[in-house]
């Protein structure tokens, strides 16, 4: 399958032209085996106009300093841990960092409660192992091992979902930059350019604390929720536009007021008070992240495009909105009903949204 037919392209393919233009314009010093200099990597993430007039799109909307700290970490011998509540673009930033630094964001290990030490380090082709015993031919390298050999970035998603004893198998790799293979009496030494980007959050169930020894091997960058409503609206508008084109949704881009309304609802319920600070609210159990706001609007656009007039209306977003807020059918339902009756009902220009939500109760 060609990359143009992929439902979601890897960053290095989707933004290949931007990376190519940055390489041409990049006159800064590059660490060994990096595709771009640290300056160019940050420019790729934050966006802007090059000297030749070429426009680089912003991949991260937020603090430039945080991105500079993250990129500077990768230029040292320390690994990078992107930490924050769900939906703060940790995986998104991780992918784009790997694409810009290594030209390859696919050396990925997805952390789960069932992730084993073999998945982190290496495994074996058991047919070869039984036939010929331990050998290089029987070895099945992990993405981490391949990254070490090639001097690239390895990504570990949801590190804190991995059992603690398996997490600690990273310690030797991160401190000694070597991966022992005792069965062969050999080791893999990391090539210059190798590093690890891990992501973790502290809100989901099933989280395993990192050991103190492992924490010391990472430089932690905390990615915050968007600081202002305008910043969050900008992120949602940008991603909704990109995903709408990728999914070929037959609907018009949503009106700014509809996006702003969803973002305002999420921010008010997250903070436990209305925007003007006059009304205290209960917060639901869900994280109500920016990513979920994007999903609510994309779902609404699909409804509007396939079952409506192609224009996003309140009744198109109501179901997705309720689904995002009400994760616990008892506790969250109470929170949402109070918010509807105390806040949404009383806002004159929100009457249509109120009616649409009440129809689904």
Whole-structure pTM over 0.85, yes or no? Answer: yes
Within-domain flag for 332 = yes
Regarding whether 209 and 277 lie in a shared domain, the answer is no
Give the model's confidence band at 247: pLDDT under 50 very low, under 70 low, under 90 confident, else very high.
Answer: confident
Regarding whether 204 and 307 lie in a shared domain, the answer is no
Query: Which tokens go with 80?
Result: 């990078």
| pLDDT at residue 354 tops 60 | yes
Regarding whether 240 and 192 lie in a shared domain, the answer is no
The pLDDT score that the predictor gives to residue 204 is 66
Q: How many residues does the structure list for the chain?
A: 361
Of the residues 190, 222, 254, which one is the last residue of a structural domain? Answer: 222
Regarding whether 72 and 176 lie in a shared domain, the answer is yes
Q: Which residue has the tokens 């010093």?
A: 29
Query: Which tokens go with 53?
Result: 């007039």
Query: Which tokens go with 76?
Result: 């040292």
Query: Which tokens go with 31?
Result: 């660490």
Answer for the pair 272, 281: CB distance below 8 angstroms, yes or no. Answer: yes
Q: Structurally, how many domains does the chain consist of?
A: 2
Of the residues 222, 251, 274, which one is the last residue of a structural domain? Answer: 222
Total Cβ atoms within 10 A of residue 293: 26
What phi and psi values does residue 190 have, to the nearest 5 degrees? -70, 135
| pLDDT at residue 79 tops 90 | yes
Regarding whether 274 and 215 lie in a shared domain, the answer is no
Query: Which residues constitute the domain of residue 296?
Result: 229-359
Per-residue pLDDT tens for 32-64?
999 999 999 999 999 999 999 999 999 999 999
CATH of the domain at 130: 3.40.50.300
Query: Which tokens go with 244?
Result: 């709408």
Within-domain flag for 317 = yes
Within-domain flag for 236 = yes
Q: Which of 155, 305, 178 is nearest to 244 (CA)?
A: 305
Within-domain flag for 304 = yes
Distance from C-alpha of 151 to C-alpha of 78, rounded to nearest angstrom: 14
Answer for the pair 112, 161: CB distance below 8 angstroms, yes or no. Answer: yes
Give the model's confidence band at 5: pLDDT under 50 very low, under 70 low, under 90 confident, else very high.
Answer: confident
Regarding whether 264 and 196 lie in a shared domain, the answer is no
Per-residue pLDDT tens for 94-146?
999 999 999 999 999 999 999 999 999 999 999 999 988 899 999 999 999 99
Distance from C-alpha of 190 to C-alpha of 174, rounded to nearest angstrom: 10
Exposure pattern of 163-191 as b/e (b: 16+ CB <10 Å)?
eeebbebbeebbeebebebeeeeeebebe
The pLDDT score that the predictor gives to residue 85 is 87
Within-domain flag for 138 = yes
Regarding whether 217 and 259 lie in a shared domain, the answer is no
Beta bridge pairs of residue 153: 195
Of the residues 205, 222, 239, which one is the last residue of a structural domain? Answer: 222
Regarding whether 256 and 348 lie in a shared domain, the answer is yes
Rounded to the nearest 10°, the torsion over CA 94, 96, 102, 104 is: 90
Q: Which residue has the tokens 């030490």?
A: 117
**SS3 of 183-212:** CCCEEEECCCCCEEEEEECCCCCCCCCCCH
Total Cβ atoms within 10 A of residue 8: 9
Within-domain flag for 108 = yes
Regarding whether 210 and 113 lie in a shared domain, the answer is yes
Regarding whether 294 and 189 lie in a shared domain, the answer is no
């Amino acid at each position: 399958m060609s990359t143009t037919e992929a439902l979601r392209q890897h960053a290095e393919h989707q933004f290949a032209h931007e990376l190519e233009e940055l390489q041409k314009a990049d006159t800064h010093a590059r660490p060994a085996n990096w595709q771009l200099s640290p300056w160019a990597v940050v420019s790729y993430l934050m966006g802007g106009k090059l000297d030749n007039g070429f426009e680089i799109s912003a991949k991260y909307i937020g603090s430039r300093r945080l991105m500079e700290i993250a990129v500077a970490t990768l230029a040292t011998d320390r690994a990078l841990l992107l930490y924050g509540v769900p939906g703060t673009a940790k995986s998104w930033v991780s992918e784009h960092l790997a694409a810009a630094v290594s030209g390859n964001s696919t050396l990925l290990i997805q952390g789960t409660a069932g992730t084993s030490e073999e998945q982190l380090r290496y495994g074996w082709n058991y047919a070869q192992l039984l036939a010929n015993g331990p050998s290089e031919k029987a070895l099945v390298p992990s993405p981490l091992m391949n990254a070490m050999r090639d001097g690239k970035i390895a990504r570990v998603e949801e590190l804190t979902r991995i059992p603690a004893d398996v997490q600690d198998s990273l310690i030797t790799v991160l401190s000694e930059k070597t991966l022992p293979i005792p069965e062969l009496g050999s080791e893999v030494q990391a090539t210059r350019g190798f590093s690890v980007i891990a992501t973790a959050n502290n809100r989901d169930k099933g989280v395993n604390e990192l050991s103190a020894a492992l924490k010391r091997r990472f430089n932690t960058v905390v990615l915050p929720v968007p600081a202002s409503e305008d910043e969050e609206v900008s992120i949602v508008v940008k991603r909704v536009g990109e995903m709408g084109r990728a999914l070929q949704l037959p609907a018009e881009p949503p009106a700014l007021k509809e996006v702003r309304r969803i973002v305002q609802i999420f921010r008010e319920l997250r903070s436990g008070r209305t925007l003007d600070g006059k009304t205290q609210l209960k917060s639901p159990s869900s994280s109500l992240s920016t990513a979920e706001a994007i999903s609510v609007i994309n779902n609404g656009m699909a409804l509007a495009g396939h079952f409506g007039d192609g224009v996003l209306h309140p009744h198109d977003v109501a179901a997705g909105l309720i689904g995002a807020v009400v994760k616990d059918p008892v506790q969250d339902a109470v929170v949402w009903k109070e918010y509807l009756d105390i806040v949404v009902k009383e806002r004159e220009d929100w009457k249509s949204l109120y009616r649409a939500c009440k129809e689904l109760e």
